[in-house]
Amino acid sequence: MYDAVGATFLSKDTKRFCLNKRSETVSKPGTWSFWGGKVESGETVIGALKRELQEEIGFVPEILKIHPLDIYQSSDGHFMYHTFVIITPKEFEPKINHESQDYSWSKLKKLPTPLHQGARKTLLDKNNVKKLHLIVNSID
């Protein structure tokens, strides 16, 4: 069994979410997805998330709060993906690495397409959409 983590950023000042566009060097290139990756042996989920952010955007931005959004478990039980919403005070410019070709700050109703299949399932799930609206409304 292995775990992975992913996150979208939510800017407190603009109420926009940040996703990354996957590069040609990773699976599902050209799709928009969460920032993140595999949890290494001995790491906590949050520790892995912060390490992945450092690797993928070049730094860990100021974090006001980390909200758990979803946990996906594969049908065979060998894979779990933990998704978070990270609240930041304002939008920032990621220093993307080789895994990404672009990034986008977007409103929830105007997310970029095509979404990666995992991001699509998570971001369009009815219960998660309710959670996302609650999170957006809680940061006023």
* pLDDT, tens only, 60-113: 999 999 999 999 999 998 999 999 999 999 999 999 999 999 999 999 999 999
Q: Domain extents for the chain?
A: 2-138
Cα 22 to Cα 115: distance, rounded to the nearest angstrom? 10
Instruction: Determine contact, residues 15/91, Cβ cutoff 8 Å.
Output: no
What average pLDDT does range 121-128 have in this prediction?
Answer: 97
What is the model's pTM? 0.95
Q: Which value, to the nearest 10 degrees, does the dihedral of the CA atoms of residues 82, 52, 138, 70 take?
A: -10
CATH of 2-138, one of 1.20.1370.10, 3.60.15.10, 3.90.550.10, 3.90.79.10: 3.90.79.10
Asked whether the predicted pLDDT for residue 140 surpasses 80, the reply is no
- Residue 69's nearest CA partner among 16, 4, 129, 113 is 129
Asked whether the predicted pLDDT for residue 127 surpasses 80, the reply is yes
